[in-house]
Structure 1
Amino acid sequence: MQAPAKASGLPGVKYVIAIASGKGGVGKSTTTANLALALMAEGQNVGVLDADIYGPSQGMMLGIPSGTRPQPIGENAMKPVSIHGLQAMSISLLIDENTPMVWRGPMASGALQQLITQTQWENLDYLLIDMPPGTGDIQLTLSQKIAVDGAVVVTTPQDIALLDAKKGIEMFNKVNIPVLGVVENMSTHICSACGHEEHVFGAGGGQRIARDYDTELLGSLPLTMEICQQADSGTPTVAAEPESAVSLIYRDVAKKLMAKVQSQADGVSKIPQINIVED
């Protein structure tokens, strides 16, 4: 049985979470893929929508075979692709993978709107939306077209990444999307030869930005070759090594995220209702 449609107009979807970053190259898409798998490992039905119209990467990261196309449903709908137990949709499934998206903002926004409205998700507890970096048209389209339950902002400890992450948080605040927390990638590097741990990009940045914006540091991921290689090979870490230390960090982030979303939902449901009656 399908979950009821929300005000967002997305039947079959219970909660919508945007995974965002202020700049590219901080591991946002890798975080999205692994967090989706971590939520699934916690017993949730999960979907991934790749909203990075100009640089879609979820198809490759999730190992969707080249040339795979979503199954059409009727004239104006399509079924998401099933992979690793997830439901997935990306613009990369509708075009040749080598075709660049040479589109102006309104065209990209229109493509995202079609992906949102024409994909028929089935009984999802969580839909994770892999956002493009920055604070542009796609972000505004998303906030206007569907009711997003919250956002996770991905950053690295570098000052320039933190500066852009702050802009991302400010953007979500302006469009009334709650920021559920921050994920800090490349937090430390552990030498594979001697085991020495070093903060090569600085320390404490994710914690500071979380404190400054009254949110939570959901987790810190190390800089490791395995995370990159596994994502590039189409089997993200949580699927490739579900019991590894890194996978357990993603699982912990997933548990915190679920608790925050549920707490937020409970808070909304507990708002007292005022009934006006005539004496």
Structure 2
Amino acid sequence: MKENNNSETGGSTPQKQTAAQTIKGIVILVVVFAVIAVVLSQSGAFAIINPGWGFKVLNEKSSEDFDEALVFIYDTHFTKPSVSGVQKWATPIKIKVEGNPSEKDLNALNEIIAAFNTVDGFPGMQIVNSGENVKIIFTTNENYEQIRNMYTGDSFDKSFCDFNVRNGEIYQANIIMEPGGPQGYRNSVQLHEFSHMIGFYNHVDGKTSIMNYNNPVSGMSKTDTLAFKMLYNPEIPIGMPYFRMVDYYDSMTVDEFLNQ
């Protein structure tokens, strides 16, 4: 009897196996890319890779206690040699915009202003055409060096902020924005410089902090945000020593502070 070679078996055909392997490969790639996307978004790296990704000035997720925020305030504020007590703005901040900002630069600036103005005790910010006490200059490749030299003797090529303090009150500042860079990076840098301007003078190593010099992020961390609110708390006067600030916040919880 002749054997029938056309009879079907219970196994898969090579074509079905290939299709299944292709689908499996695609699913694995999708999962891998999804994991990478989550990691990058959590690290803030999308601020460079995907310009403007998730820019949000303040982080409203509350820290559980004051400890990290107090350390942040000490490291960024009280380690400046000239600071023996709290320094901050006490009068409304009037910003004059100069140079060549893009529409997205201005959008980021307006987001920063709107968010900062929600902080209790902060004196408020607005853009003005004259009578400014803060100037932000958006430079170009052609004029950055010239403008930089007007405000500092240093030879770096990055954005920076200088400011003046009198009797503990910050009363004038200039922000010089470097040219170029993806928009997400520029948003992060602009917020970083405004954070210097409001009193966070020094840099920190925390990778999620807006005050990390080398790691652009898409907004203030929860510690940065809490520290901002603590520094500008109306109950914390200009000139208050650090240890008095610690004593004050030791008397309450974060929830009590945020809901008072």
Q: TM-score range by the shorter chain?
A: under 0.3
Higher relative contact order (CA 8 A, sep 6+): 2
TM-score (norm 1): 0.25
Highest Rg: 1 or 2?
2
